[in-house]
Amino acid sequence: MLGTNVKKMSKNNFIFIEPTLSEIFINGSNENYPIPLKVTNNSENNIVINVSAIDFGTQDNSKGKPILNTKLMDKEAFGVKDFIKFERDVLRVNAGESITVNAILENSDQLFSGGHYGAILVNIQNEESNEDVIDINYTLSSLLFINKESNETLKLVLEEASLNNTVWSLPNSVKLKFSNNNDHHLIPRGVVKIESLFDHLINKGSINLNSERVLPKTNREMPTNLQTVADYWIPGFYKLEVSYRHNASSKLNNYQKTIFIGWGYYLIFLACLIALFVIKKRRAAKHTSE
């Protein structure tokens, strides 16, 4: 939902669309592709819907998450709204009924190979407006992830793996920053492990359980929760290992680095040594003065 302005709404007055996300794979021919969208009106009032298309992209401050009406790297090539047409863009939906909005994706030569990203917006309003009718005015969106085939060799790169806390114990999560310099979006897969220097498994977690996408020419941060599967000693040195791939490949890539866990204990030990030194120094000074 993009925005809501509801003056009165019953808990049972649901208006929804499906699907809320579509992934479409198209070939190089000029065949058009239908995109059906179901709108269900479970409210007690008749409504009027206005449908339109919009592009989406991402921004640096969004950590790679999609943002509607934002271009990818300011490039029109990744947009799709100009290629989506509607049989009708204004429709009436009676109370308790469902209708299908028929959108058409025009697969022309101007729709270049690679990924294209947009959304179908459904603006919902009352058919009539008066004091006795629930006032409804809001917009729902259905995201479109479109891949047009190409001969591009796809590559996903793990730029960085950041641990949330290593002061007192092993971390319970890690942030993975993936880079996608291709013209298609990619879905990271894989496993994160923390092991001892002797390959004894301590922590483990699966990457991207929600199947989130890394859009073309962007980076995206993906937190991965870790589960402790064995006891460990602290402080000490351990290995962080990330085995990852993307949805279009079965080949695993490996990322590894050595980490030191529990350096907070060394700070306590150092503070104790300093305190003992100060106490000893003061006692020696007092003994000398006597």
- Domains in the chain, ordered, with CATH? 3-148 (2.60.40.10), 156-267 (2.60.40.10)
Burial class (CB in 10 A: 0-12, 13-18, 19+), 62: middle
Q: Which two tokens stand for residue 78?
A: 């990744």
Over residues 249-277, mean pLDDT = 80
- Strand order across the beta sheet in which 218-225 lies: 156-163, 173-180, 218-225
Whether the per-residue pLDDT at 234 is higher than 90: the answer is: no
Give the C-alpha separation, 215 to 169, whole Å. 34
Q: Which two tokens stand for residue 89?
A: 């863009």
Stronger pLDDT, 227 or 287, i.e. the higher one: 227
Write out the DSSP string of 92-157: EE-TT-EEEEEEEE---TTS-SEEEEEEEEEEEEESS--TTS--EEEEEEEEEEEEE-------EE
What pLDDT does residue 45 have? 84
Share of the chain above pLDDT 70, in %: 78
Dihedral of CA 206/212/216/219: which sign? negative
Q: Please, which pLDDT band fits residue 210 given cuts at 50, 70 and 90?
A: very high
Could you read off the pLDDT of 212-225 as tens digits, one per residue? 999 998 899 999 99
Single-letter residue type at 175: K
User: What's the chain's average pLDDT?
Assistant: 83
Residue 156 near residue 180 (C-beta atoms within 8 A): yes
Give the C-alpha separation, 12 to 182, whole Å. 45
Whether the per-residue pLDDT at 149 is higher than 90: the answer is: no
Residue in the structure block whose two tokens are 């894989």: 190
What pLDDT does residue 134 have? 56
**What are the residues facing 33 on neighbouring strands?**
105
Over residues 202-214, mean pLDDT = 94
First-last CA distance in the chain? 80
Pairing of strands 136-148, 21-26: parallel
Whether the per-residue pLDDT at 97 is higher than 90: the answer is: yes
CB neighbour list of residue 133: distance below 8 Å, 6 or more residues apart: 45, 126
Residue spans of alpha helices (H) in the chain: 263-289
Whether the per-residue pLDDT at 11 is higher than 50: the answer is: no
Instruction: Give the Å distances, CA to CA, from 25 to 57, 107, 114.
Output: 19, 11, 10
Over residues 200-211, mean pLDDT = 94
Q: Calculate ∠ Cα 18-73-245, nearest 5°.
A: 70
Kindly calculate the radius of gyration of the chain based on its CA atoms and give it in whole angstroms.
Answer: 28
Q: Please, which pLDDT band fits residue 72 given cuts at 50, 70 and 90?
A: low
Give the C-alpha separation, 240 to 260, whole Å. 10
Q: Which helix (H) or strand (E) holds 39?
A: strand 33-41
CB neighbour list of residue 180: distance below 8 Å, 6 or more residues apart: 156, 157, 186, 214, 215, 216, 217, 218, 219, 220
Single-letter residue type at 266: Y
